Each structure stands twice: as C-alpha cells, then as structure tokens.
Structure 1
Amino acid sequence: MFVDESKRGGYLVTAAAVLPGQRRLHFTHESDNRRKQILDVIAELHPAVTIYDG
C-alpha cells in the first residue's frame, strides 16, 4: 500500500495497492525512462486507488 499527500490546492491523500513486495517508490529519485517503466507496469495491474479530499 502506498500513501501520499498533497497540500497544493487543498489537502489530498491518495492510497494505492500496487507492486507487491515493493518497499518504497519516489518518482523524484527515478529517471524519466524508469518512471515510464514503472507507470506501464502499474497501469497493467489495474490498481485499486482511493483518494481522500479534505
């Protein structure tokens, strides 16, 4: 389960269940090519995502 938050334009919390066994993921540490690879895999998994707007 990945959880992230954003305070830009309000407060959003997003939780997604993806990539079993993956300990962490932070796009700022990945190259553009690696980001695309990761997003392609995630898209194939059809993840369940919940967004909370507070």
Structure 2
Amino acid sequence: MQIAFLMDRLDSIDPVTETTSYLMYECNQRGHTVFFLEPHDVYIRRNEVVARMR
C-alpha cells in the first residue's frame, strides 16, 4: 500500500509533540511505501488535485 502523510512545514514541527513520524515508521516497517507532503505541495492542475510528494 502507498500511504501519504500531509504534514505541517518541517521547520515548524516540534519533535517533542510530533507523532506523525511514529506512524510513518510503523507503516514503513509493515512494508508500505510512505510519502510525505506539506500544504504548499498540493495544487490544482487542469481541474485535478495534484501533490508533489517526497
């Protein structure tokens, strides 16, 4: 399965309270492909929602 996580900007994440990385790690450990994207990576092109994922 391919799973994408929409996250806040990486420079604004507080490592003490951030839990998304734990979910990403677990998904990866279970054999899933993991991507992440930030809000500015999502846009509309030709009436379709598109995202630049990393």
TM class by shorter chain equals: 0.3 to 0.5
TM-score, structure 2 length as denominator? 0.34
TM-score, structure 1 length as denominator? 0.34
